[in-house]
């Protein structure tokens, strides 16, 4: 059962305040991703400690980089169930994971960071991985 919105709102705001568009329904996900060809970062947000203490801060730090995705999108696992399920349909070849960070280019998934790659790491380490992916996929 989803947590009350008052508990989740600050966790949603962490990404919205740095420019992410929050997708809360399956049609919103399709509208945002189905035909998108620009570089797109999709964050499957969650209320776990590794999202709050590592993933969300790392994402914010990474976006201070010279190269970065053109489109920033997020869904909230455990809250917006239909949106999250639909978003995961675009993350081909990876099991459901939250938090997780997917990078798309030309409509194709080109890079992925799963929960097990977030847990136990510092935001600086995760941010460095994100910046490396941005350099590879967002620099042209």
Q: Where are the beta strands (DSSP E) in 1-127?
A: 21-22, 40-45, 71-76, 100-105, 108-113
From the list 48, 54, 58, 63, the catalytic residue is: 48
From the list 29, 41, 44, 50, the catalytic residue is: 50
User: CB neighbours (10 Å) of residue 78?
Assistant: 16
The whole-number pLDDT of residue 78 equals 86
Active-site residue, 50 included: yes
Active-site residue, 138 included: no
Mean pLDDT of the chain: 91
Round to whole Å and give the CA distance between 22 and 124. 24
pLDDT band, very low/low/confident/very high, at 5 (cuts 50, 70, 90): low
pLDDT digits (tens, 9 = 90+) for 29-46: 999 999 999 999 999 998
CA-CA-CA-CA torsion for 137, 124, 50, 44, nearest 10 degrees? -20
pLDDT band, very low/low/confident/very high, at 58 (cuts 50, 70, 90): very high
pLDDT digits (tens, 9 = 90+) for 67-77: 999 999 999 99
Which DSSP state fits 116?
G
Round to whole Å and give the CA distance between 73 and 42. 5
pLDDT band, very low/low/confident/very high, at 128 (cuts 50, 70, 90): very high
pTM above 0.75, yes or no: yes
The whole-number pLDDT of residue 27 equals 98
């Amino acid at each position: 059962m989803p947590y009350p919105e008052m508990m989740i709102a600050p966790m949603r705001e962490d990404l919205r305040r740095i420019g992410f568009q929050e997708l809360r329904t399956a049609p919103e996900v399709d509208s945002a991703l189905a035909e998108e060809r620009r570089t797109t970062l999709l964050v499957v947000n969650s209320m776990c400690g590794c999202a709050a203490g590592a993933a969300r801060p790392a994402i914010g730090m990474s976006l201070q980089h010279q190269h970065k995705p053109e489109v920033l999108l997020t869904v909230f696992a455990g809250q917006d169930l239909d949106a999250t399920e639909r978003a995961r349909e675009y993350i081909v070849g990876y099991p459901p994971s939250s938090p997780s960070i997917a990078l798309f280019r030309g409509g194709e998934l080109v890079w992925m960071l799963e929960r097990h790659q977030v847990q136990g790491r510092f935001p600086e380490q995760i941010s460095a991985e994100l910046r490396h992916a941005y350099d590879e996929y967002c620099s042209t």
